[in-house]
């Protein structure tokens, strides 16, 4: 696993909820700015980056969706263990936090990972999967066949209304899978919302992520 980088922004209160955002690079800075613009409730914000995007966020091995790209790894379980046993607890101790809740959020593959984490651990109180890669091969079957490890209080899903308009047959399933996931969770009594945004996958990712986090905090 690559060298992990973290940044934390403390809340006004040590008991404010903590949001953990897995970030591809430094786009977490734009997310933090958008959260301020949205006047979101008091919270602490932990951004984590430096991991291997298509390995550490992948729940199981899957073939690449584009020719010439490497296949997806199966590093999510190992990364999740490190995140919940080392990375987040270390940050909580270092900054003297006592969060009333810990949420996980992410965009694209990090959104898939956020949802997947709920099946593997009860560490997180809820998750925001913003334009999440719920097209991932086998995910919807896994979601239907398994239960959450705990009882998350909230799950936020979002998607751009043009994300499914692609010639890639795997990624074209993203809207059907995201809607099916929302319906599945609603049927289980989970407080879930699915927000459809205008545009494709790369339109306003920071704002979409911030809206998901703000909903969790609200």
Q: Please, which pLDDT band fits residue 3 given cuts at 50, 70 and 90?
A: confident
Mean pLDDT confidence for 141-167:
97
Which ranges of 59-167 does DSSP label H, i.e. alpha helix?
Answer: 76-82, 88-94, 109-120, 139-145
Beta strands in the chain (DSSP E): 5-9, 18-22, 44-49, 102-107, 126-130, 154-160, 192-197
- Domains of the chain listed by start with CATH number: 5-217 (3.40.50.1820)
Q: Please, which pLDDT band fits residue 2 given cuts at 50, 70 and 90?
A: low
pLDDT digits (tens, 9 = 90+) for 64-111: 998 889 999 999 999 999 999 999 999 999 999 999 999 999 999 999
């Amino acid at each position: 696993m690559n060298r992990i980088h973290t940044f934390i922004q403390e809340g006004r209160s040590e008991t404010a909820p903590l949001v953990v955002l897995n970030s591809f690079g430094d786009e977490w800075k734009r997310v933090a700015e958008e959260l301020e613009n949205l006047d979101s409730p008091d919270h602490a914000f932990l951004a984590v980056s430096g991991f291997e995007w298509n390995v550490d966020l992948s729940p199981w091995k899957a073939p690449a969706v584009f020719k010439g790209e490497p296949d997806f790894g199966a590093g999510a379980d190992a990364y999740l263990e490190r995140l919940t046993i080392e990375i987040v607890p270390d940050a909580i101790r270092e900054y003297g936090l006592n969060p009333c809740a810990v949420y996980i959020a992410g965009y694209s593959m990090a959104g898939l990972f956020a949802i997947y984490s709920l099946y593997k651990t009860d560490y997180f109180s809820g998750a925001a999967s913003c334009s999440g890669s719920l097209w991932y091969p086998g995910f919807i079957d896994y979601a239907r066949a398994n239960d959450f490890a705990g009882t998350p209080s909230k799950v936020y899903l979002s998607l751009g209304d043009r994300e499914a308009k692609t010639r890639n047959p795997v990624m074209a399933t993203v809207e059907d899978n995201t809607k099916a996931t929302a319906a599945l969770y609603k049927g289980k009594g989970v407080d879930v919302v699915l927000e459809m945004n205008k545009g494709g996958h790369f339109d306003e990712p920071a704002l979409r992520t911030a809206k998901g986090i703000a909903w969790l905090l609200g």
